[in-house]
Amino acid sequence: MGSMKRPPAHSAIQMMQKLPSSVLGFSFTCNSFFARRLFVSGFTIVVIDVSALVLLYFFRDRKYRMWRNDNDFQCDRWVSFAAFSYWCGAAVFFLTLPATGIRMFELFTRKKPSDLSDKKFKVTRTWYLQFCEVLAVFLVVYMVCLTLGCIGYLINNQFRCYRVLDIAYACAAIVVFCSQFAFISHFTQFREHIKMQLGAFRESNQTGDIRAHWGTKRAKTSVQHIRKQLYKAVEHGNLDDVQALLDEAALLLGNAFAQHMYPSAKLVLGYFAVSEKNPVHVAASMGNIPALRLLFAAGFDVNALDKVSRVRISTSDLFWFFIRYVVEQPVSSVDQHKHKRLTLLTPLHCAVATSQIDTVRFLVDEMHAAVDTLAVSPSAADRIPPLFYAEHPNIVEILLSAGANLLMVPGSGWVY
């Protein structure tokens, strides 16, 4: 019997192995429109800001006669505002570095699994990305505060600066200041471009959030390990791993392990809930019927409730909370059910919401899922059956044929 051959390395691994380890080179910037635009706009702003600050501190503030202010208080104030604007170049410099091709400033990396088979990779957020996200937020807040300060000064003081050089200096600062909003847009689009190239279309497809780093430092029991790995295996569609983990759980906890490990989630005090990380909901959302068959064969409840959208602690949440006022967040980056973070759903809710027609038919016809189970939520308007999530006519037909109540009226939306 011939020896078994090792499976070929994933094409992504082969590509990553060919990349330079330190610097990608000038071809990286030339090959990417988003990288080139970020580099050009950032480099231009940094050069102008540095030149303006050198001009200020070496020619104006020192006692050179070529540019002095003759005790004009108004001009001093406007030049000071301009200097505050030019100091934004320090933040722009750090935000430009990812476009240089220097790999230590990469925003994302792909973390290969230990088994080089056809398993998916996890996109990892680097620490430099998290630094850039926080820095971008501080830059936006700083720019807003500076703008409000200038507006307030204009309202309370009459403009009385008549020196041409000071006026030109301040006007140039205004132009550069406004261009920094475009630069933030360029950085955000570059970030999204790199993220989507690596296959992480939604923010939840990335690892590296703060909670994940905390979690790795705590020892995990066998049950916690199985729960986490089973969730990941279903999420990645690795059926062999799913079956192996189900067998391990049955051996460790007994054949009824699913009932004990994955009970229906409940609201605490009518408002809070902790996700059970039920893999059935993930499989239903992704339309993975083979995984659902394995899970139901292991005793998972087809009508179990769980919180699908879990609260993530990450700098990306802080980043988008502020940057969304400057750049519109792409639809693909918005996590599904983001507005349902307090709502408990059944697997049928998940399959209907993601328009998985075959999965809905499987859950209803073969697994006899309850079609009128209401979602559990502190908001009365969100306590609705799966039918209210339907966007495809075939799914509506399946649910109505199974006896779904189309006359049900949800609450008016108050929270109590």
Angstrom distance (rounded) from CA 184 to CA 96: 10
- The 10s digit of each residue's pLDDT in 372-416 is 888 887 777 778 889 888 888 999 999 998 888 888 776 654 444
- pLDDT-derived band at 65 (thresholds 50, 70, 90) equals very low
- The 10s digit of each residue's pLDDT in 229-279 is 888 888 888 899 889 998 888 888 888 888 888 888 787 776 666 777 889
H/E stretch holding 125 reads strand 122-125
In this prediction, residue 331 carries a pLDDT of: 56
Tokens at 188, concatenated: 């955000």
Give CATH for domain 220-308+343-401.
Answer: 1.25.40.20
In this prediction, residue 175 carries a pLDDT of: 93
Angstrom distance (rounded) from CA 184 to CA 179: 9
Say what angle helices 73-86 and 127-156 make with each other, to 10 degrees. 160
In this prediction, residue 6 carries a pLDDT of: 45
Say what angle helices 164-197 and 73-86 make with each other, to 10 degrees. 20
Q: Which range, of 95-109, 214-228, 233-247, 285-299, averages the lowest pLDDT?
A: 214-228
Look at strands 306-307 and 122-125 and give their pairing: unpaired
Where does the chain hold its CATH 1.25.40.20 domain(s)?
Answer: 220-308+343-401
Contact 244, 232 (CB under 8 A): no
Q: Which residue has the higher pLDDT, 123 or 367?
A: 367
Contact 181, 175 (CB under 8 A): no
- The 10s digit of each residue's pLDDT in 141-193 is 999 999 998 888 888 877 777 778 888 888 999 999 999 999 999 999 898 88
Question: Which SS3 state, helix, strand or coil, does residue 8 take?
Answer: coil
- The 10s digit of each residue's pLDDT in 267-314 is 777 666 677 788 999 899 989 899 999 999 888 988 888 877 655 556
Q: Which range, of 200-209, 318-327, 341-350, averages the lowest pLDDT?
A: 200-209
> Percent of the chain having pLDDT more than 70?
73
N-terminal to C-terminal alpha carbon distance within the chain: 68
Give one DSSP letter per residue of 283-307, joined into a string. Answer: HHHHT-HHHHHHHHHTT--TT--EE
> Facing residues of 102 across strands?
23
